[in-house]
Structure formats: structure tokens, C-alpha cells
């Protein structure tokens, strides 16, 4: 059974990642709104539908990542020591969250090197996304968002590591969905309000505050891991 604390951590990670999301993906999200025909952009209801489809596709891709990570983590745990393997994954995931927070705040720029892991896949997907532009209907926006969800991102990888320690594919699915839900308000706003919100959230002060919040969340999750050492979703009590 999924631990509600895991879902809460995933949601907060997504929520606190908003400044980084807008800085990294704001141009992509804003381009969606700006590339729409004028008659659609002038109708707030229509623009909202496009933005919802766009971000829905992105979260769907996160869900796939979470499922794969959860299944992989469960296999690794079962192949090693169920208890110790799970504990190591949880500690590693929490430490990764701390690194992501330092990166968002601008204190650990080397963390961005981890994003290179996803570059080979992104090079294959990005041309497919360009073929969908300009977006003309919500279904195309959904497809474009699904491709965008695979953009290399250290914070998505942090959530993926947390999903790997969750105990299984379904648990990982839920964790990445909650992470995506946490990013949803900021990215929806970026699409609707475009450049105005992006420029506001790119301020260094906001990034440092949010980065520090992510670091604190990672430290708290490390304490939680230590306090819940006996809790292993893949272990059976003998």
C-alpha cells in the first residue's frame, strides 16, 4: 500500500519546483499560448482547454516514468536484500532531492550534468514535437505535452528516484502523478499568462527561496526515512 507521506513529498517537490519549471520549460509552455491563433488566445476558456491538454499530456508522461521507475526499483530491491535495498533507495532518493534543491537555488550548478542522461532520448523525441507546431487543437496539445514530459530534467529524475523506492509500478505511477499535479498550477499559469509570469518567477531571489525549501524537504525526508526504517513495502514480516 502506498505511503501517503511519499505522495506528499512528491506533491511538494513538484510545487516547490515551480520556479525551475518556469525557468526551464516556461518558454515551451508560453510558446504554446503565443502560437495559438488570435481568436483562440482571445478566448480565455479555449486557451484554458489547450493549456489543460498540454499539461495533461506532460503529466501522463511523468506517470509512465514513475511506473517504470517503481517497477525497476522493486526488481532491484527483490534481487538484493528486500529491506536494505529499499532503505538504500530511499536514502539515495532523499539525498537527490537535496541536490535538486541546491541546484534550483543556484548553489549546485553541477547537478545539471545529471540531465545529460536523458539527452539521447530527447534528441529523438524533440523533432516529433516540432512537427506538431503550431498547435491547432486540444488533441495536438495533448500529444505535444506528452512529448514535452520527456524533456531532460533533474527534478523529474529526483521524483523518479523517489518512485523507484516506493515498492512497485503502481506506487511509482502515483508518485509521479502527484509530482506532476504539484507543477500543474505554475505551468498552467505560464501557458495562460505567458511571458509575464515567466519573467516574474525567473528572479534569483524566488529561486533561492524555493530551492532552500526543496533542500529542507529533502532533509526532512531523510529524517523520515531514518524514523521509518522498519517500513518496507516490498518486505514481508517473518
Per-residue DSSP letter, 170: H
Profile the chain (238 residues) by mean pLDDT over runs of 10 residues: 76 77 61 65 73 91 96 87 74 84 82 85 90 85 91 87 89 95 80 52 67 82 59 46
- Domain boundaries defined on the chain: 4-227
Q: Which three cell numbers stand for residue 73?
A: 526499483
Per-residue DSSP letter, 133: P
Q: Quick one: pLDDT at residue 60?
A: 97
What phi-psi label fits residue 106: left (phi over 0), alpha (psi between -120 and 50 degrees) or beta?
left
Q: Quick one: pLDDT at residue 236?
A: 46
Task: Name the percent of the chain in helix, strand, coil, to the closest 5.
Answer: 80, 0, 20
Q: Identify the CA nearest to 177 among candidates 50, 22, 70, 27.
A: 70
Amino acid at each position: 500500500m502506498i505511503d501517503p507521506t511519499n505522495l506528499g513529498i512528491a506533491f511538494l517537490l513538484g510545487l516547490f519546483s515551480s520556479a525551475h519549471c518556469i525557468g526551464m520549460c516556461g518558454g515551451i509552455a508560453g510558446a504554446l499560448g503565443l502560437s495559438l491563433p488570435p481568436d483562440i488566445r482571445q478566448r480565455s476558456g479555449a486557451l484554458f482547454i489547450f493549456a489543460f491538454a498540454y499539461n495533461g499530456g506532460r503529466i501522463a508522461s511523468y506517470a509512465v516514468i514513475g511506473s517504470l521507475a517503481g517497477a525497476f526499483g522493486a526488481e532491484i530491491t527483490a534481487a538484493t536484500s528486500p529491506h536494505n535495498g529499499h532503505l538504500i533507495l530511499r536514502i539515495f532518493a532523499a539525498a537527490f532531492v537535496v541536490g535538486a534543491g541546491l541546484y534550483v537555488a543556484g548553489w549546485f550548478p553541477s547537478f545539471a550534468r545529471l540531465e545529460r542522461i536523458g539527452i539521447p532520448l530527447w534528441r529523438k523525441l524533440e523533432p516529433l514535437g516540432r512537427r506538431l507546431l503550431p498547435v491547432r487543437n486540444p488533441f495536438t496539445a495533448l500529444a505535444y505535452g506528452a512529448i514535452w514530459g520527456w524533456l531532460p530534467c533533474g527534478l523529474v529524475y529526483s521524483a523518479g528516484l523517489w518512485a523507484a523506492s516506493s515498492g512497485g509500478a503502481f506506487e511509482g505511477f502515483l508518485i509521479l502523478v502527484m509530482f506532476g499535479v504539484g507543477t500543474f498550477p505554475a505551468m498552467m499559469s505560464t501557458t495562460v499568462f505567458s511571458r509575464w509570469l515567466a519573467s516574474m518567477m525567473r528572479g534569483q531571489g524566488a529561486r533561492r527561496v524555493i530551492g532552500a525549501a526543496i533542500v529542507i524537504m529533502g532533509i526532512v525526508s531523510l529524517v523520515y526515512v531514518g524514523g521509518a526504517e522498519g517500513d518496507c513495502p516490498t518486505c514481508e514480516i517473518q
